[in-house]
Structure 1
Amino acid sequence: MEKREYTDDYPEKTLYIPGPTEVREDVVAEMAQPMFGHRMDRMTDLYTTIVEDTKEFLGTDNEVVVLTASGTEFWEASTLNLVDENILVPTCGSFSERHANVAERLGKDVDRLEYEWGEAIKPEDIRAELEESDKHYDVVAAVMNESSTGVRNPIEEIGDVVAEYPDTYFVVDAVSALGGDHVDIDAHDIDVIFASTQKAFAMPPGLAVCVVSDEAYEREVGKDSASWYGGFQRTIDYYERKGQTHSTPAIPVMLAYRKQMKYMLDEGHQSRSDRHLEMAEYTREWAHDHFDMFPEAGYESQTVSCIENTQGIDVAATIEQVSDEYDYVFSNGYGSQLGEQTFRIGHMGEHDRDSIEKLTDAIEDVAGL
């Protein structure tokens, strides 16, 4: 690959992709503050603010960890922290399959419960697997929002099932949903749930947010080995002692986080979720008028709509033309499997129904719908 010089003269585009998403101007501006040390009192003030505000927003009594990382970090960390040998991963798209791949690379014994892309995980299948398997599963790991297919899995019901097996922990990848789709973490016994800030939190990329139950923390404490960077004991104990992160964080992004979380608290968890649902319902209605929805009916995502290209439009050309003429950017289908068969609209973060309607109007114009 040859160098392509960054020129800083690119046209501004409005993002309707599954992340990163639009960020408020004053949130971006927070990152331009003068630098300070990550062991200063100012850092304690900053980090304790974002951690405690996140707990308040999510309505959880569990511990919150915010690390400089992609949400991908907690695929790896939760596996190292909780799994001795066996993990059950229901797969229904690219990201759930990748979670299984990560566990395999870490040397764990992975059983997949496989669904066709576009289908949702069924709680009764999880129950049957836990009942009938001759293995003990340390963890059941599920994706809440499979953004490759636009499926929203019923993690609340799955959590209720897993809770019946007290020696099995429930891990949820909510990277593209948390902050835009209400979930009662504590009520459904979710041991670990994690997200990335550049999705429904509507912050710049660079931070991963993880909520950890007391049971998951104690599980790791009792293990012989665990993740070093994303270890629950290491991160939570350091927070309890110092009110800081154990390693140097991306301070500018945390400043942006502090600002944006105040907006999220003002809106409220349920109200923010309701706004995302309104956008999702509008997009589904529009899709049914002109195309069709790809995910199984009743399991559509609240933050990313995956639309089946029943009209056979040139997806790549339409995306390019909408970008050129309107400065709006949406996404094609995920990978070679769905590239032209589907396209995706990210309706998350600070968008609202009116802004989504601007995009769908542009698509109608360019595609001649």
Structure 2
Amino acid sequence: MLNFYPGPSKVYPEVRTYLTDAYDEGIIGAPHRGEQFVQVSRAVVNSLKRKINIPQDYHILFASSATECWEILIQSLTRHKSYHIYNGSFGEKWCEQAKKLRPNSEGMKFDMNEHMPVDDLQISSDTELICFTQNETSNGTQVSATTILNLQNKYRDTLIAVDATSSMAGLNLKFIKADIWFASVQKCFGLPSGLAVLICSPRAIFRAKQLNERSHYNSLVPMYEKMLNYQTTHTPNVLDIYLMKRMLEDRPFIKQLDIDLTDRANDLYEFFSQFTEFKLLVENEEVRSKTVLTLQGSERLVDDIKKRALLYNIRLGNGYGPWLRNTFRIANFPAIGNDEYEELKRFFLHYYA
């Protein structure tokens, strides 16, 4: 099965070997307070900083998912409210979750064919956390590094948190431009679901210590304190952390992965622009995602495309949110090989050209 679903998506083929090695090395049953796990955790932290260019003074924590990170950050970094900027379903859901915890939280929706309107933002001085999604998986858009820098320059005194679930470990993100970044691993990391990486700047940790919120099992300060010894507050996904260690050891540095994914994204966008029965959902090339392509057509055609693809062992992603029935999505993740995309192209040329 060729898997182009945008998460959970295809895992690296080497994971099969890593799993066997994990069993043979006893890591699957290793205690999470033991030295074997600590060594693996330390190696993962060091490799993440080295391979995907995380600043050395940023802190790396583990959670179960990106959606859990939404909650952790609101609980531990705000007393009053956060501000959410979004153009799609996942950014909006983060805003909705924040309002359940902090009813005064605010949000602003912008058009998916526009850049994030930083100049138009009017965020009040009592806002404690600015939140947005760097790569909106629901519609296939992304926020550029330049836009993030402009946001940082405008609101220097406010913490900025970024959901980078569909781009971290695939694109060369400029982590220094925000205080918090997080992602689940079932996308560009090419690993099984059930683990998230949460990255915090020294400023974010300082703020968390000031608030000292400890009311939840995964409150940010206890998570940080445990990771000083490369441990977690909870029993973590030990296997996934081990798989990440092995994956990072074998993968190229992020600069090369970014070049490869960008080139392939450009090729795929050019390829799909030739079709007339369906079209690219995002019209503005400047805000299109490099890692998730979204194609739009009639509900009947989209349903036919997905069903016909499955007959040829090709899994395409469903639409999401408002675009559930009239779009399908294609992941452009590092674990998926170029030859698989060539087969995908042959399928579309045969049936829909």
Q: TM > 0.5 between the two?
A: yes
Q: Which residue of 2 aligns with 1:25?
A: 13
Q: What is the CA deviation profile of residues 72-105 of structure 1, one whole-angstrom value per residue up to 9, with x for unaligned ones?
A: 1111111112122122111201001001011011
Aligned residues: 343
Q: Which residue of 1 aligns with 2:132?
A: 142
Deviation at 1:180, TM superposition (A): 1.1
Q: Matches of residues 75-94 of structure 1 in structure 2 within 5 Å?
A: 75-94=70-89
Deviation at 1:226, TM superposition (A): 5.1
> Aligned to 1:56, which of 44, 50, 59?
50
Any conservation in 2 of the 1:66–1:207 contact (CA below 8 Å)? no
Any conservation in 1 of the 2:4–2:331 contact (CA below 8 Å)? yes
Q: What is the CA deviation profile of residues 269-312 of structure 1, one whole-angstrom value per residue up to 9, with x for unaligned ones?
A: 11111111122111110121114321233101010011232x77
Q: What is the CA deviation profile of residues 166-214 of structure 1, one whole-angstrom value per residue up to 9, with x for unaligned ones?
A: 431100000111111211111x2x1000001111011111110011000
Residue 354, structure 1, aligned to residue 339, structure 2? yes
Deviation at 1:25, TM superposition (A): 3.2
Q: Which residue of 2 aligns with 1:209?
A: 197
Q: Which residue of 2 aligns with 1:250?
A: 237
Q: Could you tell me which amino acid in structure 2 is paired with residue 334 of structure 1?
A: Y
Q: Matches of residues 93-112 of structure 1 in structure 2 within 5 Å?
A: 93-112=88-107
Any conservation in 2 of the 1:83–1:138 contact (CA below 8 Å)? yes
Any conservation in 1 of the 2:214–2:222 contact (CA below 8 Å)? no
What stretches of structure 1 of length at least 5 have no aligned partner? 1-12
CA distance in 2, matches of 1:115, 1:24: 35
Q: Match of 2:9, SS?
A: coil
Q: Which residue of 2 aligns with 1:334?
A: 320
What stretches of structure 2 of length at least 5 have no aligned partner? none
CA distance in 2, matches of 1:312, 1:243: 49
Q: Match of 2:60, SS?
A: strand
Q: Which residue of 1 aligns with 2:34?
A: 40
Q: Match of 1:211, SS?
A: strand
Q: Identity across aligned pairs (percent)?
A: 22
Q: Which residue of 2 aligns with 1:365?
A: 350
CA distance in 2, matches of 1:260, 1:169: 31
Q: Matches of residues 186-201 of structure 1 in structure 2 within 5 Å?
A: 186=176, 188=177, 190-201=178-189
Deviation at 1:231, TM superposition (A): 3.0
Any conservation in 2 of the 1:15–1:330 contact (CA below 8 Å)? yes
Task: Give the root-mean-square deviation of aligned CA atoms.
Answer: 2.0
Aligned CA distance change for structure 1 residues 62 and 293 (closer, same or farther; 3 Å): farther
TM-score by length of 2: 0.90
Q: Match of 1:222, SS?
A: helix
TM-score by length of 1: 0.87
Deviation at 1:313, TM superposition (A): 5.8
Any conservation in 2 of the 1:174–1:194 contact (CA below 8 Å)? yes
Q: Matches of residues 154-165 of structure 1 in structure 2 within 5 Å?
A: 154-165=144-155
CA distance in 2, matches of 1:339, 1:321: 18
CA distance in 1, matches of 2:262, 2:327: 21
Q: Could you tell me which amino acid in structure 1 is paired with residue 343 of structure 2?
A: K
CA distance in 2, matches of 1:45, 1:297: 44
Deviation at 1:118, TM superposition (A): 4.7
Q: Which residue of 2 aligns with 1:10?
A: none
Q: Match of 2:287, SS?
A: coil
CA distance in 1, matches of 2:308, 2:116: 36
